[in-house]
């Protein structure tokens, strides 16, 4: 680019931004009033996320907001950062935020909001993305979902909601892609209408108090990629899903007695996370022949009745980061387990694993080999005695020194 042309471009863009600042992007008074009311219900903002929200400035220039062409606020993105202890907001969710009638995105995740979701939110018919996950919202989830014909992402996980899944959620069926209600105190049965969600990609109902059987029609969720129903009180039968391929599945710690790893899991060629802990699986691990193990990152088969060896399975993966198989009857020589370099977490506690502890454990982040039949000197590592307790004849730090024979 010639220097002259570059200067010309710089001048053009400068004047464009100057023009934008003066005459474009003027905040609508209803939006400003709603935002200032929202701010006045915030009791803590230690990192100053809202410090430039001031009555005498243009709200379209405030941080965390986006104004559309009509100069109405369309998006509010105020997610906290769980790893930054100062970046959060606390307070209640002002009902006056519903002044911002053109909002299509509200992200308030990972803050400390408490109290209910205001009923006035039903005015925001343009919403496609509502993320209130990771707060302290409580009460029942409002039953106003027929007001949101465009909603694609609904994330309410990690709060303190009680009651059932409201019936009006059914009206989101044609479009909704993400339904995340995990880690609340929701109860009741999983409603039949869930199977109408033809576009659903991700369903997270984990760590709640859901009970009873899953509706038979659950198998109509053919597009589902991520399914997490772990830690509820669901019972058999688990329907055979007709999914094209599942990417991540967690059914751990319900009251299922699956017997085997389901066929639709074994045949998935894109699965990366499989968690079936405490699912009543009773099989030889050597007999499991997953169609493709290449993408596996996480496998959790803890607390089942699995026998045989994990050597072939672990050896067939290339990216495995976590393998948990605590509380089974696995019986193999640990010296022969070839750990992929990607492996970070290994839990084989409470099995019948024998042989000695290989040097390759040194690179792991977490390890538990307690209550097996291991023997010999432990390689020097950072793991505590608890990781090696209850074995036949392990010795050396962190356990008592080996006796010289
Ligand atoms: C599930 O799909 C079958 C056909 O594939 C259909 O007959 C049935 O009505 C569907 N059920 C629901 C609840 O959508
Ligand atoms: C592990 O895999 C390698 C090649 O991928 C193969 O040569 C080796 O025999 C396997 N070992 C076991 C114990 O299955
Ligand atoms: C290791 O496993 C044992 C038995 O499963 C369990 O009691 C213990 O809490 C585990 N320790 C760690 C550090 O995970
Ligand atoms: C475990 O395997 C190692 C190496 O293959 C072998 O030297 C050792 O004897 C085996 N231990 C047992 C108890 O079979």
Per-residue pLDDT tens for 321-362?
999 999 999 999 999 999 999 999 999 999 999 999 999 999
**In the prediction, which pLDDT does 403 show?**
84
Structure tokens at 266: 């074994």
The answer to whether 147 and 120 are in contact (CB under 8 A) is no
Distance 303 CA to ligand 3 centre (A): 13
Q: In this structure, which residue's CA is closest to atom 5 in ligand 1?
A: 220
Residue 5 clears pLDDT 60, i.e. is over it: no
* Contact in structure between 182 and 159 (CB atoms under 8 Å): no
Best mutation site among 199, 220, 221 for ligand 1 pocket (most ligand atoms within 8 Å of CB): 220
**Which pLDDT belongs to residue 35?**
97
CA distance 333 to 372: 11
What gap in Å lies between CA 318 and CA 297, rounded to an integer? 9
Quote the pTM value. Answer: 0.90
Three-state secondary structure call for residue 39:
helix
Whole-number percent of the chain with pLDDT over 90: 86
* CA atoms of 192 and 224, how far apart (whole Å): 16
Binned at pLDDT 50, 70 and 90, residue 405 comes out as: low
CA–CA separation, 247 and 303 (whole Å): 22
What ligand has the least distance to the C-alpha of 373? 4
Ligand with smallest separation from the Cα of 334: 4
What is the tens place of the pLDDT at every residue in 166-214?
A: 999 999 998 999 999 999 999 999 999 998 999 999 999 999 999 999 9
Ligand 1, atom nearest to 215 Cα? 13
Instruction: Give residue ranges with CB within 6 A of ligand 1.
Output: 195-196, 217, 220
């Amino acid at each position: 680019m010639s220097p002259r042309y570059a200067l010309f471009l710089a001048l053009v863009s400068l004047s464009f931004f100057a023009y934008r600042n003066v005459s474009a992007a003027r905040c609508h008074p209803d939006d400003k009033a709603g935002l200032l009311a929202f701010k006045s219900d915030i009791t803590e903002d230690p990192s100053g996320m809202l410090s430039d929200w001031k009555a005498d400035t243009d709200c379209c220039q405030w941080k965390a907001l986006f104004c559309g062409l009509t100069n109405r606020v369309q998006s509010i993105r105020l997610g906290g950062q769980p790893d930054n202890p100062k970046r959060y907001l606390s307070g209640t969710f002002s009902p006056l935020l519903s002044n911002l009638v053109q909002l299509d995105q509200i992200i308030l995740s990972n803050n400390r909001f408490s109290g209910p979701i205001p009923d006035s939110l039903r005015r925001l018919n343009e919403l496609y993305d509502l993320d209130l996950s990771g707060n302290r919202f409580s009460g029942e989830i409002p039953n106003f979902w027929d007001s949101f014909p465009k909603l694609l992402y609904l994330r309410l996980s990690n709060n303190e909601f009680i009651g059932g899944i409201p019936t009006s959620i059914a009206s989101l069926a044609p479009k909704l892609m993400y339904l995340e209600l995990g880690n609340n105190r929701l109860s009741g049965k999983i409603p039949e209408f869930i199977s109408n969600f033809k576009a659903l990609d991700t369903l997270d109902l984990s760590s709640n108090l859901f009970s009873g059987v899953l509706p038979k029609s659950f198998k109509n969720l053919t597009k589902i990629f991520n399914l997490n129903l772990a830690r509820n009180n669901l019972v058999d039968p688990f329907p055979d899903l007709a999914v094209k391929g599942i990417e991540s599945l967690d059914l751990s710690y319900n009251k299922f007695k699956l017997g085997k790893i389901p066929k639709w899991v074994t045949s998935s060629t894109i699965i990366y996370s499989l968690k079936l802990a405490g699912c009543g699986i009773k099989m030889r691990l050597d007999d499991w022949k997953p169609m493709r193990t290449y993408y596996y990152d996480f496998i959790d088969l803890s607390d089942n009745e699995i026998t045989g060896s994990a050597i072939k399975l672990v050896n067939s993966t290339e990216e495995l980061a976590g393998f948990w198989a605590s509380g089974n009857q696995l019986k193999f020589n640990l010296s022969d387990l070839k750990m992929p370099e990607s492996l970070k977490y290994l839990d084989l506690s409470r099995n019948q694993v024998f042989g000695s502890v290989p040097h390759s454990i040194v690179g792991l982040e977490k390890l538990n080999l307690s209550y097996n039949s291991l023997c010999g000197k432990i390689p020097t590592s950072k793991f505590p005695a608890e990781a090696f307790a209850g074995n036949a004849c392990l010795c050396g730090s962190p356990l008592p020194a080996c006796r010289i024979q």
